[in-house]
Amino acid sequence: MNPPRNSTAARDVASVLHPYTELKSHLTKGPVVIARGEGVRVWDDQGKDYIESVAGLWCAALGFSNERLVEAATAQMRRLPFYHAFTAKSYEPLIDLSEMLLERAPPSVDGAPMSKVFFANSGSEANDSAVKMVWYYNNAVGRPRKKKIIARLKGYHGVTVAAASLTGLPNNHRLFDLPIAGVLHTMTPHHYHGAEPGESEEDFATRCAEELEALILREDPETVAAMFAEPIMGAGGVILPPATYFEKIQAVLRKYDVLLVADEVICGFGRTGNYWGSQTYGIQPDILTCAKALSASFLPISAVMVNDRVFQGLAEGSSQVGTFGHGFTYSGHPVSAAVAIETLRIYDEMNLVEHAATVGAHMQAGLRERFAEHPLVGEVRGTGLIAGVELVEDKAARRNFDPARKLGARLMALGEQNGVILRAMPGDSIGFSPPLVITEAEVDEMLDRFGRALDALAVEIRREGIAAV
For the segment 407-421, the average pLDDT, to the nearest whole number, is 97
- pLDDT (tens digit, 9 = 90+) per residue, 368-402? 999 999 999 999 999 999 999 999 999 999 999 99
Q: Which helix (H) or strand (E) holds 407?
A: helix 407-417
Does 468 have pLDDT greater than 70?
A: no
What is the pLDDT at residue 33?
97
Q: Are 88 and 295 in contact (CB under 8 A)?
A: no
- pLDDT (tens digit, 9 = 90+) per residue, 258-311? 999 999 999 999 999 999 999 999 999 999 999 999 999 999 999 999 999 999
What is the pLDDT at residue 397?
94
d(CA 309, CA 427): 39
- pLDDT (tens digit, 9 = 90+) per residue, 77-126? 999 999 999 999 999 999 999 999 999 999 999 999 999 999 999 999 99
For the segment 408-412, the average pLDDT, to the nearest whole number, is 96
Q: Identify the CATH class of 71-350.
A: alpha beta
Give Dmax (Cα) for the chain: 69
- pLDDT (tens digit, 9 = 90+) per residue, 147-206? 999 999 999 999 999 999 999 999 999 999 999 999 999 999 999 999 999 999 999 999
What is the pLDDT at residue 250?
98
Q: 464: pLDDT confidence band, cut at 50, 70 and 90?
A: confident
Q: How many CA atoms lie within 13 A of 212 on its CB side?
A: 31
Does 346 have pLDDT greater than 80?
A: yes
| Paired strand residues for 425 | 429
Does 4 have pLDDT greater than 90?
A: no
Q: Are 262 and 288 in contact (CB under 8 A)?
A: yes
What is the pLDDT at residue 6?
72
Average pLDDT, the chain: 97
What is the pLDDT at residue 446?
98
Does 3 have pLDDT greater than 80?
A: no
Q: 5: pLDDT confidence band, cut at 50, 70 and 90?
A: low
Q: Are 274 and 280 in contact (CB under 8 A)?
A: yes
What is the pLDDT at residue 55?
98
For the segment 400-405, the average pLDDT, to the nearest whole number, is 93
Give the start-to-end residue ranges of the domains of the chain: 32-65+351-464, 71-350
Q: What are phi and psi of 214, to 5 degrees?
A: -60, -40
CATH label, 32-65+351-464, candidates 3.90.700.10, 3.90.1150.10, 3.30.1330.10, 1.20.1250.20: 3.90.1150.10
List, as one string, the DSSP characters of 194-231: HSPTT--HHHHHHHHHHHHHHHHHHH-GGGEEEEEE-S
